[in-house]
Amino acid sequence: MTTYREAIREAIAEALTADERVFLMGEDVGAYGGCFAVSLGLLERFGPERIRDTPLSESAFVGAGIGAALGGLRPIVEIMTVNFSLLALDQILNNAATILHMSGGQFNVPLVIRMTTGAGRQLAAQHSHSLEGWYAHIPGLRILAPATVEDAGGMLAPALADPDPVLIFEHGSLYNSTGEPGTGPVDITTAAVRRPGRDVTLIAYGGTLHKALTAADELAAGGIEAEVVDLRVLRPLDEATVIKSIIHTHRAVIVDEGWRSGSLSAEVTARIVERAFYELDAPVERVCSAEVPIPYAHHLEEAALPQVPAIVTAARDVVSS
């Protein structure tokens, strides 16, 4: 058994060992070991040329990562949290995601950006965003959301092998979670059915997957068998796995920590309606975060986020309708 954090650290170490073009850079990734201790000990193992602390300037070091990728290196850029990625949005959207297109296919940007996302840790309104749905809107990017220890470790190598930019969103609540470490690289193109079922499909990703699985256990105790689909890859979405599950269960509940309006859950709902409307026996339900800045107070934060009782209620509603 290992932790989600340790699985990412080992994956970075393996990448650094396997390819001398790979290096890690970001705020406090070196001497401090990373804000969430993901890179702890890597500076001592690989030295300052490959574990590079950066100034507090997301625009600058993401831009430097893009330049390094264009120059033939394979940078892993760590942005402390998704909230700070907004300071590098121009670099990500207008450079990393577009250079291949604007160069007529001449220049790929093989850049990997890792960042923490999500709420649930009493970090208040400015440090609790779930903006991966925003990034999933942008052509030219691949968006990953590992929810298991195996995916946390196994997604990095194929992300580094991708010739185009890959953003990996690590939910902050998962770093201490434990599981089997996996046996190597994993697929980064498809969703995964984490639990089979016949009555309703629960669609989740990242920090909401384990809530969906817990909800499925509670539903099973009441005789409702929920199939749980882990999206894993938020762009490009694996429609086939989602639609196959809907054809099987005829009902869907989407669990998304993002705000409901304009969310990834809205996109998944639209795809289901476009592709499988006549397979549905009930309207698609969504369980999302309340449309408020995430509160600091623990009880209010819990009330604002998708929780297991709300998922169970939504699933029972669609099954009984």
DSSP 206: G
The residue among 90, 142, 150 whose CA lies nearest residue 114 is 142
Active site (annotated) includes residue 302: no
Q: Inter-axis angle of helices 264-276 and 239-249, to 10 degrees?
A: 60
- Report the alpha-carbon distance of residue 154 to residue 234 in Å, rounded: 16
Active site (annotated) includes residue 299: no
Q: Tokens at residue 317, please?
A: 């509603």
Cα angle value 139/22/37 (rounded, 5°): 90
- Going by their DSSP bridges, the two strands 51-53 and 112-117 should be labelled as unpaired
Each as own residue / partner, the long-range contacts of residues 37-40 (CB below 8 Å, 24 or more positions apart, any chain) are: 37/5, 37/175, 38/5, 38/8, 38/9, 38/12, 38/78, 38/114, 38/175, 39/9, 39/12, 39/78, 40/9
Residue 3 dihedral angles phi and psi, to the nearest 5°: -95, 165
- Report the alpha-carbon distance of residue 284 to residue 98 in Å, rounded: 34
The radius of gyration of the chain from alpha carbons, rounded to an integer in Å, stands at 19
H helix runs in 76-208, sequence order:
82-85, 89-90, 99-102, 132-135, 149-154, 156-161
Q: Which of 127, 129, 171, 250 is catalytic?
A: 127
Q: Which of 58, 132, 150, 267 is catalytic?
A: 58
For residues 66, 69, 73 and 75, what is the CA-based torsion angle, rounded to 10 degrees? 50
H helix runs in the chain, sequence order:
4-18, 42-46, 58-70, 82-85, 89-90, 99-102, 132-135, 149-154, 156-161, 209-221, 239-249, 264-276, 298-304, 308-320
Active-site residue set:
58, 127
